[in-house]
Copies of this chain bind each other. A is one copy, B any other.
Amino acid sequence: MHLHVVNPNASAEMTAGIARAAEAAAPAGVTVTVTGAAGGPLSIEGPVDGAMAVPWMLQRIEEAEAQGVDAHVIACFDDTGLDAARCVARAPVVGIGEAAAHCATLVADRFAVVTSVPEALPVLRGNLARYGLAARCAGLRAAGVPVLDIDAGTPEALAAIRRETAAALDDDGADAIVLGCAGMASLAASLSEEFGCPVIEGIAAGLSLAAALAGAGLRTSKRGGYAFPRKTAAS
């Protein structure tokens, strides 16, 4: 099986980091190709970055479709451009935010999301409502730590993430944690051990769900909302 993971931003460093995480998380027997956008923003923080990134990301999806990959994973917790990506693909497309939330509801009664900065919360809140999983979400929390500090693994960043994880479990009543930021992927295992509950990061969840859909022979519906775009002339 051949999966395509696309980083919707143009940061080569982030693409490399995602590639490392994907390699570590790839299911057995699965080949993973990781691509990054050739243009657009270097990170995606909010709706404008998302909007500027999607056209570049769709190129990568279409190229990988042409090469016959079995499924696509959008490696941004915002699930940037998910609906548009499904429209250009026959193969299934999974966003890592969506994947982590679906997995959480299968191993816990209620989950909470712990992410980097408060600016990220509105998009995540809207996504969960659209997926129908908002009622299973006990809380959305931001550690108040920039993505770069998380990537650097500073002690302050780690302390803030652990503090919000504890609050999500104890105060919000969550049974599982979804890490809402790609840069937190490497923390999942140690946090899960420390807090004694599932701690779900999106790259592994996304690869696993994408492989599950492709393995079950499923492809994106071309009726209704995800139909291929009509060939409209561009100016």
Chain A interface residues (CB < 8 Å from chain B)? 10-11, 25, 27-29, 37-43, 45-52, 54-55, 58, 81, 83-84, 86-88, 92, 94, 98, 102-103, 105-110, 118-119, 121-123, 126, 129-136, 169, 173-176, 189, 196-198, 200, 204-205, 207-209, 211-213, 215-227, 229-230, 232-235
Contact = CB atoms under 8 A, between A and B. Distances in A.
A10 B226 CA distance: 23
A61 to B, nearest CB: 10
Given A106-B92, A133-B132, A175-B226, A58 B54 contact: no
Nearest to A55: B52
B134 A130 contact: no
A196 B207 CA distance: 26
Contact of A29 (B28, B81, B175, B220): B28
A172 to B, nearest CB: 11
A197 B213 contact: no
Identical chains in the assembly: 6
A48 B84 contact: yes
B87 A48 contact: yes
A122 B106 contact: no
A88 B223 CA distance: 34
Given A47-B87, A49-B232, A196 B223 contact: yes
Contacts of A196: 222-223
B42 A235 contact: yes
